[in-house]
Structure 1
Amino acid sequence: MLDYPIVNSLMMFSAYFLGAIVALIVFKFIYSLLTPQDEWLLIKNDRNTAAAIGFGGTIVGFAIALSGAISNSISLIDFTIWAVVALIAQVLAFAILRFAFMPMIVKRIEDNEISAGIMLAAVSIAVGLLNAACMTY
């Protein structure tokens, strides 16, 4: 590496930022595959507000967890491991909400019930915050 601190910092910023963007894109595809409804189609084709709120909250929750991973990682590999942990936590949050607390959440979101989308968003953001807080050494 060059012996200029600002250049080194910019290179690390770029690496972590690009890694986070890639992680968000990967998360979008994996999360959509693992959930029974296709949020993207509901949002794009049906203009489903409940799906947009729920999926938006899930993306924000994951991004919050990624920010914790970036802040506490000692390397890009460490960041990648924590990003996978964050992805698993978000998927588990959806599963727990769906199977334990709101078994009809998928249908309710498909039916554009705003309250279901808000609950999914709130749980996803809460899990992202908790996940980020736990990613410390």
Structure 2
Amino acid sequence: MNHIITAESFVAFLAYFGTGLGVLIAAVVVVALITPHRDFTLIRQGNAAAATAFAGTLVGVALPLHAAISHSVNLADAAIWGAVATVLQIVAYLLARAVVGGVSRQITENTVSAGIFAAGISIAVGLINAASMTP
């Protein structure tokens, strides 16, 4: 098949990409604001635990965003499901805090296992969330 990129398809790409990126940035900001530790400061200081946990959050939100954009009927639908993914990532972080008391303190202290655990929860929830968004 010979597919030609048209102006209409390129504008649609930009709209979906912009929506996805906007939801991803908003999700990351919200997650960074609810964590007791300062993710960006710790990452700038070379804290591997914080970087690992935060990378898990990025992937954990991006996975369902991929599914939402792939299966949505319009931009609003994609944005709504992106917001659902964000809420579930917040719940995932709160779950990690409940299961491992002091996970935020451990991340601040650069306990890499805490960062890996938090990242694992975020990615696992993101995968389940993404799979649930299929038609």
TM-score, length-scaled by structure 2: 0.92
Tell me the equivalent position of 1:134. 132
Tell me the equivalent position of 1:18. 18
Is structure 2 residue 39 aligned with structure 1 residue 42? no
Secondary structure at the residue paired with 2:6? helix
Identity of aligned residues (%): 41
Mapped to 1, the partners of 2:9 and 2:128 lie a distance apart of: 28
CA deviation after TM superposition for structure 1 residue 28, in Å: 1.7
Q: Which runs of 4+ in 1 moved over 3 A?
A: none
Is structure 2 residue 112 aligned with structure 1 residue 110? no
Aligned pairs (5 A) from 1:74-89:
74-89=73-88
Tell me the equivalent position of 2:64. 65
- Give the paired residue count: 132
Structure 2 spans left out of the alignment, 5+ residues? none
Tell me the equivalent position of 1:8. 8
CA deviation after TM superposition for structure 1 residue 128, in Å: 0.8
CA deviation after TM superposition for structure 1 residue 5, in Å: 6.7
